[in-house]
Structure 1
Amino acid sequence: MAYLHNADTTGVADLLALEPDHHGRLFTHSTRDQLITYLQSRLSPAHGTAAADELLDSPLASSRPLLRATAEELLHTDRFVLLDQQQVAVSLVRRTVKKAREADSKEVLIVTGGPGSGKSVIALHLMHHLAHDHHTVVHATGSKSFTRTLHHAIGTDNPRVRKLFAYFMNFADTPKNGLDALICDEAHRIRAHSVRHRGVRQIDELLDAAGVPVFLLDGHQVVRPGEMGSRKVIDQAAAARGLRPRHIDLNGQFRNGGSRAYEQWVLRLLQLTDEPATEWADERTFHVRVVDSPQQMEDLLQAKEAQHLTARAASTPCRFCLVGASGESVFRRRR
């Protein structure tokens, strides 16, 4: 049907000369009464309030083309390979999201692991697979730099796909269980309070946003002032809703070159366990070295590369602890 509201019958005489059929009708300003009669013969006389309310109250869902584009662009499996417990974690989340959607129920999942254990790789795989399964899913972090790094790692220029990577503060007004799944990476960065609503905790906003919120975090990660993400906090917030989170531990090792001894040595050295610090002893396939200058470190890494081994340098702020006369610890930050 075409309605030429600025035309009259004489101005479009050639168009009106065409025989109307069931495929289409043409109306002009001059035949507006005929248009009204035509619409009344095709449309229900019932009030449209119920239909409008149903539309407004219906759940939001990403379009199938967007989900397909997300699945295709997010992941090249030759770049992000899952191992052992990582595969178990992805499979468990996929099954849980599927069952929760079918049963219209709610579940909470917590994935813990230290640096290098594959939490972010798991998050990307979940985004890929859940989008491929036509579930509405969003990835969220509390760090702008980390999210930008993910954009670079994914390598997609599709702005609609990029919008599926959000921040924890973006879910203050999300409809309850509006998403099938919410992947909360670096969940230790969850802030104590909502950015938009006074008296509301951010963890509660994230739990409410999806049928299956998934939290990935490092239990030993240093938390900044105002941040409170931990397994204990998530457990307590879920319990307040009558939910019991399922936990997946990735510390079985995909990190530290597979050296469990090095991990325990570092935890003791940093007083993250009750065990006392011990002197390091090299293993057959794992060595620890201390150098006196960046140049010595560069020489050491280049020597490894000359042996056809892979080498990587990482930099992070260092904090030196000084004990004052009163016995209090004073931290000074250096690079």
Structure 2
Amino acid sequence: MSVTPTPQTVVITGASAGIGRAIARLYGARGARVVLIARGRAGLDAAAREVASLGGTPLVQVADTADAGQVEAAADAGERAFGPVDVWINCAFTSVFAPFDEITAEEYDRVTHVTYLGFVNGTRTALKRMLPRDHGTIVQVGSALGERSIPLQSAYCGAKHAVNGFTSSLRTELLHRGSRVRVTVAQMPAVNTPQFSWVLSRLPRHPQPVPPIYQPEVAARGVVHAADHPGRKQYYIGATTLATIWANRLAPALLDRYLARTGFDSQQTDLRPPSGESNLFEPVDGAEGSDHGAHGIFDDMAHARSLEAVLARHPAAVAGALTLAFAATAKAALSRRGRVPCG
């Protein structure tokens, strides 16, 4: 007699929009029980409707991840409703687009508290529940900018670097314990999310992700794959992420000069800067009907697929294909030398 598998219990921070929203949809389609955490009620309620319509069971928790107590309360509510957490995904963040000397101390603190310490709070809360059970997976939604900083995003880049650092330290501690709790990082490329329309910006023109740009669904598929296969230290989503990281390792000084020359214009469109309120200190979807969804305003520029991400999800197939290709190439080369009979 077949046994119906128990649905996963998944917690997603930053679930009201962007990548977090796209991740919630994927887990909804799996029939998962999804705890949705963010500050904005309108976006969370819309995400919950999507999860339910796809076959999942949502639970909305309005919380600021910069507040450890609020994160704990949300996790308690999730486990009371759904039972033990299987997967915890840290995705909430905020940012400021401006030269470093134009960012106030209060603004810098806020970005750091959400984009770095929010991940610390989420990870601590998850481990409090997972370690005694010796079960669970934590996925940090990182960024290529966590390994290669760019101009105009010093607060965000610093926070993402910090996420990489503390996660690496935690991973070694889990290995020392022999724990079966897993933690991995999914490093993101430029993604078409609503953040570029609600971020605090002091740029003369509307901010944009540095092209090439990917749709949130590409990022979400990478995160869910990382959660399903957490044995790897990190995953690079999008070819540009991998290219950026390797360029920084091979020629960092050259990349510094390149970004100094191109990094300002490549992060701005020809549009006027956003005229609405930013979401740095307060959510911008508080008004009725002000849900922003997963996508930003760059649909016409964004790629819905990433070959590199597909290959990363199927390493065995890739290795097999490369082995066959290498064998065929070697055989052909030897045949040309007269060492292997053809036919």
* TM-score, normalised by the number of residues in structure 2: 0.31
The structure richer in helix per residue is: 2
Indicate the structure (1 or 2) with the bigger Cα radius of gyration: 1
In the superposition, the TM-score normalised over structure 1's length comes to 0.32
The structure whose RCO (Cα within 8 Å, separation 6+) is larger is 2
